[in-house]
Amino acid sequence: MIRVVIVDDQQLVRAGLRALLERAPDITVVGEAADGEQALVLVRELRPDVALMDVRMPGMDGIEATRRITGDARLAATQVVVLTTFDTDDHLFDAIQAGAAGFLLKDTHPDELRRAVHVVATGDALLSPAVTRRVMDAAARSAVRPRNTELVGRLTDREREFLRHIGRGMSNDEIADELHITPATARTYVSRLLSKLRARDRSQLVALAYQEGLVEP
């Protein structure tokens, strides 16, 4: 059973997300929080598999709460999925740096919402195509974004190709199909890229692929 905590300052949104998630027989919502501080208390107490995190909330926002969750070694098993509204949230790149494992639009299809929870609960990362574009635009505008040009230059042609596909928002299975390799080999490439590029997670690989020109906006 995948255990989820929902974090959003609007009660109606939380109720809607709970109803949608619990239609899946293997997902259960174990708690709700209205701001980042409440989220930290719940996550530390309940140790859920996934936290669905709104960005803009009163008090501690979702980015700071994500940073504290991902920075706590005791909460390493909890993955954070950031919830965003496409037109108003300008801090998605900050959320990548904070360690979020996925990004979803609040108006995403219910099936996509449940699939995202399943994906991140297994340790993978997820960025929907629309959110990927938003994240990459935010990365391009950031004046303080890190650049790993020298590290990228050390990659093999195959590794650069793999990084390019990651930058396009493709999952391991999709890349495996595209490159005619096994999913296990795809996971090996991801681990190798994380190590070589000193990236914390797959989301940072996506941002790096964009920054280094491997993916065009």
Q: What pTM was estimated for this model as a whole? A: 0.71
Q: What is the pLDDT of residue 161?
A: 93
What percent of the chain stands above pLDDT 90? 42
- Mark out the alpha helices in the chain (DSSP H runs): 11-21, 36-46, 62-70, 92-98, 110-121, 129-141, 149-153, 157-167, 172-179, 183-196, 202-211
pLDDT of residue 144: 42
Residue 62 has pLDDT above 80, yes or no: yes
Q: Which pLDDT tens digit goes with each residue over 177-211?
A: 999 999 889 989 988 998 888 877 777 787 788 77
48 shares its domain with 117 = yes
Q: Given 121, 141, 161, which residue is the final one in a domain? A: 141
Distances from the Cα of 102 to the Cαs of 55, 70, 125, 171, in angstroms?
Answer: 13, 13, 5, 12
Q: Give yes or no: residues 177 and 95 share one domain.
A: no
Structural tokens at position 105: 């639009």
pLDDT given at position 91: 65
CATH of the domain at 92: 3.40.50.2300
6: pLDDT confidence band, cut at 50, 70 and 90? very high
Instruction: Between 180 and 102, name the one with better pLDDT.
Output: 180
How many alpha carbons lie under 13 Å from residue 13 in its C-beta half-sphere?
18
pLDDT value, residue 43: 97
Q: Name the residue range of residue 165's domain.
A: 149-211
Q: Is residue 217 part of a domain?
A: no
User: Is residue 67 in some structural domain?
Assistant: yes
Mean of per-residue pLDDT scores for the chain:
84
Residue 166's region, left for phi above 0, alpha for psi from -120 to 50, else beta, is alpha
pLDDT in tens, 152-167: 888 999 999 999 998 8
Number of folded domains that form the chain: 2
Residues 6 and 109 in one domain: yes
The letter for the amino acid at 61 is D
